[in-house]
Amino acid sequence: MNNSARTYSVTDAACGSSSSYLWRSFIWGRDIITAGYRWCIGDGSSVRVYDDQWIPWPSTFKVISPTSLGTMTTVADLKLFSGAWNEELIRNSFLPDDASLILSIPCSSGNLSDKMIWHYDKLGSYSVKSGYYIGLSLGTNPSPLGLNQAESWWKFLWRLKVPAKVKLLLWRACHNWVPSNDNLARRGVRVENACPICKRWHETTLHAMWCCPSLKSIRSMCPFMRSIKLADGMSFLDFMVACKKQIIVADMELLAMTIWRIWYRRNYMLHNVPTIIDDEMALWVTSFLTDFRQAKAAIATGIGISSTDVAAWCPPES
């Protein structure tokens, strides 16, 4: 068996408990992005048969067959000297579905290198549109929300009159794509999953964004939230959908802005950066939204302000 030399890429990088916050965030983003990448097979020498993403079929792009060959076997080992697939070896070593998919991959002539491509684009390049859809399909939220309800929520979110950065944070939070300690621990990063502020509960997305006991005074500034009941195991998406059902749009915009500010409060506190005191949160949120709306109105009437001064939000293409 030919154990070809292999260059390890960034996708092999691990994350230790002493890793910096930026590095952990990078690993976090990488986990999302790499979910849509797979190897395009050239000579096969760079690609591990069992560990790498190379089967041209979503969503894992990995073989599902048991490891009957050595764990270090590369795709090049499945080829004959001529570069053609070793069909007999493949059919004897893999389950029929895997074998068919492997044999459907064109064999390159010569010594073309293997390369990483974005599976969801004809040219192999990442695009926001395809990233958006792979993102939706990768949501880790265990909520039993139906597609209609989920779609209705996303459309509602895109229409909120709050800055684009606020919608993006909520969008990521609904997918559990914010680097809270519990989310990081679930992704295999060696961190304590406890909340770094109250140190009492797992820092889930919902805990970090709303439920942490340290946020009690901020929550009390949102009287429109009194009717919202929290349930055990509720995800952040469940929470948002429940809020959408029970409070008016203007209050949803206040809530979105408050949650955005709460997340930054958490990060500032983590890094000992001074931030506004909690008692001033409601005032800050209200005046920020007022300024934002006035700026939008000024743009709409074409007076007083440059269009570059206010973030514009374009929903992902459908």
Question: Could you list the residues that contact Zn ion (CB under 5 A)?
Answer: 195, 197-198, 212
75, 68, 93, 110: which is closest to 3 by C-alpha?
A: 75
Whole-angstrom distance, CA of residue 315 vs CA of residue 170: 13
Nearest-approach distance from CB 192 to Zn ion, in angstroms: 12
Residue closer to Zn ion, measured from CB, 35 or 197: 197
Residue closer to Zn ion, measured from CB, 35 or 212: 212
Nearest-approach distance from CB 202 to Zn ion, in angstroms: 9
Residue closer to Zn ion, measured from CB, 212 or 262: 212
What lies within 8 Å, CB to CB, of 99 at 6+ separation is 90, 91, 93
Residue closer to Zn ion, measured from CB, 101 or 198: 198
Nearest-approach distance from CB 92 to Zn ion, in angstroms: 54
Side-chain-facing half-sphere of 200: CA atoms under 13 Å: 6
Q: Report the SS3 class of residue 282.
A: helix
Whole-angstrom distance, CA of residue 23 vs CA of residue 29: 10
Nearest-approach distance from CB 215 to Zn ion, in angstroms: 8
Strands (E), the chain: 37-40, 115-118
Whole-angstrom distance, CA of residue 20 vs CA of residue 241: 34
Whole-angstrom distance, CA of residue 227 vs CA of residue 236: 17
Residue closer to Zn ion, measured from CB, 166 or 195: 195
Q: Report the SS3 class of residue 202.
A: strand
Nearest-approach distance from CB 218 to Zn ion, in angstroms: 12
Residue closer to Zn ion, measured from CB, 174 or 212: 212
Nearest-approach distance from CB 198 to Zn ion, in angstroms: 3
φ/ψ of 67, rounded to 5, equals -75, 90
Residue closer to Zn ion, measured from CB, 49 or 197: 197
Residue type, 305: I
Residue closer to Zn ion, measured from CB, 155 or 216: 216
Side-chain-facing half-sphere of 315: CA atoms under 13 Å: 12
Residue reference for tokens 């506004």 = 276
CB contact at 8 A, 73 and 48: yes
CB contact at 8 A, 253 and 160: yes
CB contact at 8 A, 241 and 228: no
Nearest-approach distance from CB 281 to Zn ion, in angstroms: 16
Nearest-approach distance from CB 195 to Zn ion, in angstroms: 3
